[in-house]
Amino acid sequence: MITNPSFNWLRLQNVFYDLKTCYNTLPWSINSLYTNYRLSISENATLIAVATKSTKFINLIEVYSGSGNKLWSIVYNSNANDYIHGFYFKEEDLIVVFSNGIYRHYQDFAGNFNEFLLNESLVVFDNLSQNRASNGDLNLETTTDSVRRITDLQNGQSEEINNIVDAEIYGSFLVTRYESKFVITDLELHKNYRLEFTKYNVGDIYGMALHGSNQDPKTLNIYISYMSTIIVCNVDFGLSKFEMENQELTDGPFNEISVSSNGKLIALLNRAQSKVFVVNYMFDNMLLEYDTSKELSKPFQVEWCGNDAIALSLRDEIKVLGPGQQSVSFYYDIEEETGLDFNNYLSRDTNREGYSYVVPILQSAADGLRVLTGDKIQFLTRVPNKTINMYLIGSTCPSATLADCVDKFNRDASKANANITLLKSEGLLTTALSDCLYVALDEFDIELQKRALRAVSFGKIYDEENYDADEYLTTINIIKVLNQLRSPEIGLCLSFAEVQIVGWKNIIKMLLRRNQHYLALKVIESLQLDNLRSLVYIHWCCYKIRKELDMSDVKLYQTIVDKLISAPTPFLASVPSLATKNTTNHLPVGDICDVAHEEGRIILCKLINNLEPSISKKIKKLIDINEVELALIKAFQSGSYDLSRLVLARLQTTLTISDFFKVLNQNESKLDEGISNELREANVKISTEPFHVRGEVVGHTWLDSLATLDTAMKERFMEHQDKYYSLYLSKLKLFKEAHPDPEGEEYYTQYKSLLKSFLQGTSHGFTQKAIQKELNILELQKRLETTYLSNFYQETSVINILGRMVKMHQVKPAQKIAKEFSVSQEKFWYLVLRIYSESRQFDRLYEFALGSLDSVNGKSPIGFEPFVDAGFSKHAPKEHISVYIKNSLKYNYNEKINLFIKNEDFASAAQEALKNKDIDLLRNLQKSAPSSNSTAIRVINNSIQKLGYQV
């Protein structure tokens, strides 16, 4: 029978604490962990890095999983001038800081790292504290400037001595303390920021702690133990400033500072006074003062257990302190250990009296406290209220009642049924089911998980109408995943609360770091995290490149292509008809290209980059690896005009002129012939963009875009290419653009010179004719300017010149010019018709068409129909319109009658009807003609009589 977990709980006031075992035995061969080793524990204790204290300098760092399995190690030949100062974790990235101001950033378990300088490109932050009018906050009995320098006797130049004193990591910030300054390094951007700290005695600093702001991620608080007080240094990265504030405490020096995870409470340890203090973050309220002098040993460590209790690491004991001096202790009693090996007993830590003891190493977590000893890892946590309600002896809460029903079902089914009926009748069954699921997620012990899940499985039968079965299945899947992660082989013993904080994406990344690709896919499938599936395939490809050192680029490319194409695509998966036809990669390959490039596989890098679905990322990667010409071709192949111009602009600014001109002449690049043959044999098809680069597309694009901003370079390129036609054409365009309002002798001379040069430099017949015509027009403009004392250069065509002259009423000279330049008579007549009708100069139009205002007969090369249409649209005099109608040779009888009637010329309509002896039309005209038009009525009546009819 399962033991009630509440038997292991300890009560502190109204709160219970439980020390859960994550791993009961650790496979490493490490003894006396606290005494003999330096160590660093990653966030959530998923990794542990240790280095022996037996050597003066660190030569070996070993990294273990959270279950004690060795993952990898770092060997470094340290010496007095160059040694490892310390090692720290940023999430699961190991940061190694060296005494010479270098730090290495290890991002995997294969020993791959990037190296950076701590004192390079320092951004100096302003100290606002020095600008205060009152300096009372910083009156700390400061000494003179504490900066130490060394002077070169040969040149007299001095250099600051940079001795690293301490270093800590919080989030993505590495804070390195020197004797006279702090250097804060952003490990994401690898930028360094300097904080001057010159007015303080380094010997009076006892330690520091870091914490960020939950409201502003661009700030960092550094808590410095200085003399008997605490100095809080608030760093604002957004404003590039920092401010130091003395909290004016008097109970220091404080050997340890521990900040709660939410930053609201701070614990301080003074070993000399054997006291622990707890204050709020404003340092204006002392919440606890605890005397440790009566404990079995002095505290080795002070850490927060969650946000509301602190834990002391003592000899063979963890003491949890609560408000009001109350505490509970968890003991490590060697005599009660089962299966004690005598050899292990002899190797334990011993004091001067010869008694062995255990020093627990503590690491704070958001929902508890991790405890590491030499042989086990545990998790000290506050017991949630729902777990208390379910397991506390005598509890009558719904979850406890439901769990009790399961226990009693086999012995007393009627009693179990009565209890479940009572829960349902009171509406508490759903609450009981929900609480049991919560308890199952909170438990580490598999048997206790099963007990809570059995209760849910039993209870949901009676609540099928209201209970969400999907929640039950999701919880089971999460528990399965958590148990798999907590297995010693994986070593990720995380609580469900920690998983929610870390996020499933980071959990998947942890598995991939351990090369657990299959398990990562199973987790993604179980929890339906399809958006994270690409991480697994990309990491597998990177792992394959690093692993397969002897495989050729082409074969490795084929392997990677097959893997990427096999990756399920959410869109294709939702369309069954397309799910089995995926032959295109949809995953980003930038990280894979980076790994290939790092491994020296340049050809593989370029081949894989072809698979990138984003053309902008593809081109950026080619530029990053200095394949700028290939990047240009890919940009043009993509059909993106803006992207092509962007790459051209980069090349224009980075290449020499001769190299750039060569680029402008290139066509589509091809792979090395040997590589192409291997690809054909391997049946690898390189994906290309939808367009191919042909001819001089690159050069023409540059000429039409960027070259317009650099005239001199454009002309040099055209001369380089013997493109004199384009060169002169470009010069003419530029000349025209530079003279929007041409006039004067200077314009005439310069333009004529350009045209003649162009004429002499081209052999193209059509172009020669066009240039000669332009020269003739220029001469005509010059002649007209002299004749009429008016600027004709703005009239850029013969038609415009003719129109200008018509407006000047110089119709006859215009007719001569039209004939000179072979402008047809019809086009000229239409031009005059348009100009006079639009300007409503109807008399001039009439005179032009018929010769004089008195004439009623005339001939027109375009007929008189356009005159009739223009007359109606522009409201010409009716007598003019009637004359145009009469002179038309295209209108038939009916069309003329209708036009006369439209023009209200009934008399002309009657005359036309008389010619055609149309008595019916005359009768109709007689009826429709207005009585006020006596002339029309008289003509109509006379016409009727002439046909022999009576009026």
Question: Region 658-674: what's the mean pLDDT?
Answer: 68
Write down the pLDDT at residue 141: 44
Cis peptide before 323 (omega within 30 of 0): no
Q: Name which of 446, 438, 443, 503 is nearest 475 in CA terms.
A: 438
Question: Region 527-532: what's the mean pLDDT?
Answer: 94
The confidence band for 340, taking pLDDT boundaries of 50, 70 and 90, is very low
Strand partners, 40: 49
Strands 15-23 and 377-382: antiparallel
Write down the pLDDT at residue 810: 87
pLDDT digits (tens, 9 = 90+) for 45-78: 999 999 999 999 999 999 999 999 999 999 999 9
> Quick check: helix, strand or coil at residue 98?
strand
pLDDT digits (tens, 9 = 90+) for 266-286: 999 999 999 999 999 999 999
Angstrom distance (rounded) from CA 527 to CA 470: 12
Name the residue type at position 585.
N
Write down the pLDDT at residue 641: 87
**Residue with the two structure tokens 């240009």:** 632
Q: Name which of 107, 118, 97, 124 is nearest 193 in CA terms.
A: 124
Q: At what angle do helices 469-486 and 446-459 cross, to 10 degrees?
A: 170
The confidence band for 936, taking pLDDT boundaries of 50, 70 and 90, is confident
First-to-last C-alpha distance (Å) of the chain: 133
pLDDT digits (tens, 9 = 90+) for 815-850: 888 888 888 989 999 999 999 999 999 999 988 888
Write down the pLDDT at residue 739: 72
> Quick check: helix, strand or coil at residue 301?
strand
How far does Cα 759 stand from its chain's mean position?
55
Question: Region 506-530: what's the mean pLDDT?
Answer: 96
Write down the pLDDT at residue 506: 96
Residues 277 and 288: beta-carbon distance below 8 Å: yes
| Mean pLDDT (the chain, rounded) | 85
Write down the pLDDT at residue 304: 96
Helix, strand, coil shares of the chain as percentages rounded to 5? 45, 20, 35
pLDDT over 90 at 377, yes or no: yes
The confidence band for 350, taking pLDDT boundaries of 50, 70 and 90, is very low
**Residue with the two structure tokens 């963890």:** 318
The confidence band for 142, taking pLDDT boundaries of 50, 70 and 90, is very low
Angstrom distance (rounded) from CA 425 to CA 428: 8
pLDDT digits (tens, 9 = 90+) for 254-271: 999 999 999 999 999 999
Both tokens assigned to 50: 């240790």
Question: Region 770-793: what's the mean pLDDT?
Answer: 80
Listed ranges 262-276, 861-875, 888-902; the one with the highest mean pLDDT: 262-276
pLDDT over 90 at 743, yes or no: no
Question: Region 680-702: what's the mean pLDDT?
Answer: 66
pLDDT over 50 at 143, yes or no: no
Question: Region 386-392: what's the mean pLDDT?
Answer: 95
pLDDT digits (tens, 9 = 90+) for 180-232: 899 999 999 999 999 988 778 888 999 999 999 767 788 999 999 999 999 99
Question: What are the two backbone dihedrals, phi and then psi, of residue 124, each rounded to the nearest 5 degrees?
Answer: -85, 125
The confidence band for 96, taking pLDDT boundaries of 50, 70 and 90, is very high
Q: How far is CA 603 from CA 43, 557, 600, 606, in A?
A: 39, 10, 9, 5
Write down the pLDDT at residue 351: 44
Residues 543 and 593: beta-carbon distance below 8 Å: no
DSSP string, 52-65: ESSSSSB-EEEEEE
pLDDT over 90 at 336, yes or no: no
pLDDT digits (tens, 9 = 90+) for 486-498: 999 999 999 999 9
Angstrom distance (rounded) from CA 71 to CA 817: 96
Question: Region 565-590: what's the mean pLDDT?
Answer: 68
pLDDT over 80 at 157, yes or no: no
Write down the pLDDT at residue 144: 46
Write down the pLDDT at residue 674: 53
Of the chain, the percentage scoring pLDDT greater than 90 comes to 48
**Residue with the two structure tokens 């987790």:** 523
Which of the pair, 148 or 109, is modelled with greater confidence? 109
pLDDT digits (tens, 9 = 90+) for 453-486: 999 999 998 887 778 889 999 999 999 999 999 9
Which of the pair, 1 or 91, is modelled with greater confidence? 91
**Cβ contacts of 38 within 8 Å, gap of 6 or more:** 50, 51, 52, 53, 58, 86, 87
Name the residue type at position 920.
D
The confidence band for 153, taking pLDDT boundaries of 50, 70 and 90, is low
pLDDT digits (tens, 9 = 90+) for 623-632: 888 888 888 8
CA atoms within 13 A on the CB side of 447: 5
Angstrom distance (rounded) from CA 857 to CA 884: 9
Listed ranges 156-170, 630-644, 749-763; the one with the highest mean pLDDT: 630-644
Q: What angle do CA 394, 400, 402 make, to 5 degrees?
A: 140
Which of the pair, 611 or 102, is modelled with greater confidence? 102
Question: Region 657-668: what's the mean pLDDT?
Answer: 76
The confidence band for 139, taking pLDDT boundaries of 50, 70 and 90, is very low
Question: Region 593-609: what's the mean pLDDT?
Answer: 92
Write down the pLDDT at residue 80: 92
The confidence band for 853, taking pLDDT boundaries of 50, 70 and 90, is confident
pLDDT digits (tens, 9 = 90+) for 785-821: 878 888 887 787 888 888 888 888 888 898 888 888 8
Q: How far is CA 791 from CA 283, 495, 804, 807, 839, in A?
A: 87, 90, 11, 14, 22
Residues 379 and 427: beta-carbon distance below 8 Å: no
Write down the pLDDT at residue 725: 60
Q: How far is CA 23 from CA 2, 467, 580, 680, in A?
A: 19, 36, 45, 54
pLDDT over 70 at 669, yes or no: no
The confidence band for 776, taking pLDDT boundaries of 50, 70 and 90, is confident
Question: Region 537-561: what's the mean pLDDT?
Answer: 93
**Cβ contacts of 938 within 8 Å, gap of 6 or more:** none
pLDDT over 80 at 568, yes or no: yes
Residues 519 and 490: beta-carbon distance below 8 Å: yes
Name the residue type at position 879.
E
Which segments of 373-523 are extended strands (E)? 377-382
The confidence band for 668, taking pLDDT boundaries of 50, 70 and 90, is low
pLDDT over 50 at 729, yes or no: yes
Of 366-380, 504-518, 784-798, which gets the smallest average pLDDT? 784-798
Residues 41 and 47: beta-carbon distance below 8 Å: yes
Give buried/exposed letters for 346-364 (b at 16+ CB in 10 A, else e): eebbeeeeeeebbbbbbbb
Q: How far is CA 193 from CA 105, 183, 244, 753, 924, in A?
A: 18, 6, 16, 64, 103
Write down the pLDDT at residue 187: 96
Angstrom distance (rounded) from CA 225 to CA 239: 25
